[in-house]
């Protein structure tokens, strides 16, 4: 997918934008260092840039021609950094302002997907005055409670016992004023990486996720070694193709571009449901986009160069 004749010098001076101040800083540091090493290994003039330590405006003053944006969470994945880079006129990787902002908001993402006729699990918005017993009855147990504007499973709880939804709500509300309760879909968890634009736009092989813990939480995602990842996914070919087509459609409905990752649940009947989208996915040694890329014959440095090649303004 990456042009074999591309000259790494054509990218100019590249800033790998990582770290930041969100709840996902630790993961962004891991992702960013991996990307930085990979780009340098391919001869790209890449440099670390942490906006928690330097203002974004200095990117222009320091002569950066392109940005690999690998900030996770608020302040980096929510359209704010994208907007600043637009104003600076510096090409950056991943989705633009609107798609990044919407993709970070799980509620509004679900509204758009549902409005486009795409399947999402049933959910209820919670606040301090919600009838928690009624929500438990409506959605059934177990169910998930999550902040709408955090990633990496920050603030998420699995509610299994009647009468404990209120406690889970309070935990999620520590991270965001907008909190969702979501129906449990228990037939399997999958993710579909998207890479490319135009005629080169495709879904990579599906990855099936089998956590050893009760659900795919922060520890299972980034630090545990007993989470199982299956790629090939083990799905029949027609089911894999169906899931890839759904992920491509979900990506396009939100106006995303370049690269990303769509998380999908499957129910007991084999029907897929869209869970959420990641517009700046993790690039750590536990991350799923590099895993899918390897299955498609793209090594990690090649993946990083391809994403960088798709950098844009506007």
| Catalytic annotation, residues | 24, 152, 222, 261, 263, 276, 278, 282
Q: Are 192 and 257 in contact (CB under 8 A)?
A: no
Q: What angle do CA 172, 178, 180 make, to 5 degrees?
A: 65
Tokens of 289: 């986009």
Tell me which residue of 142, 224, 226 sits closest to 181, measured CA to CA: 142
């Amino acid at each position: 997918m990456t042009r074999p004749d591309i000259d790494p010098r054509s990218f100019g001076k590249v800033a790998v934008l990582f770290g930041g101040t969100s709840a996902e800083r630790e993961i962004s540091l891991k992702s960013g260092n991996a990307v930085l090493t990979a780009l340098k290994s391919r001869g790209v003039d890449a440099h670390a840039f942490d906006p928690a330590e330097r203002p974004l405006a200095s990117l222009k003053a320091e002569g950066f021609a392109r940005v690999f944006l690998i900030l996770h969470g608020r302040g980096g994945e929510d359209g704010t950094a994208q907007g600043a880079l637009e104003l600076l006129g510096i090409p950056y990787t991943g989705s633009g302002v609107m798609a990044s902002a919407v993709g970070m908001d799980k509620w509004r993402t679900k509204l758009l997907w549902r409005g486009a006729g795409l399947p999402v699990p049933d959910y209820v918005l919670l606040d301090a005055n919600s009838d928690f017993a009624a929500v438990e009855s409506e959605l059934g147990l177990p169910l998930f409670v999550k902040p709408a504007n955090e990633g990496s499973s920050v603030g998420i709880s699995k509610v299994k016992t009647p009468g404990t939804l209120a406690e889970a709500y309070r935990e999620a509300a520590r991270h965001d004023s907008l909190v969702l309760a979501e129906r449990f879909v228990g037939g399997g968890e999958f993710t579909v990486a998207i890479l490319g634009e135009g005629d080169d736009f495709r879904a990579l092989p599906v990855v099936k996720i089998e956590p050893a813990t009760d659900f795919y939480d922060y520890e299972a995602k980034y630090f545990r070694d007993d989470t199982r990842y299956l790629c090939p996914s083990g799905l029949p070919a027609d089911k894999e193709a169906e899931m890839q087509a759904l992920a491509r459609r979900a990506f396009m409905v939100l106006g995303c571009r370049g690269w990303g990752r769509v998380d999908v649940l499957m129910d007991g009947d084999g029907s897929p449901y869209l869970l959420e989208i990641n517009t700046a996915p993790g690039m750590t040694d536990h991350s799923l986009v590099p895993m899918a890329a390897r299955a498609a014959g793209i090594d990690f440095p090649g993946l990083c160069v391809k994403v960088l090649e798709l950098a844009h303004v506007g």
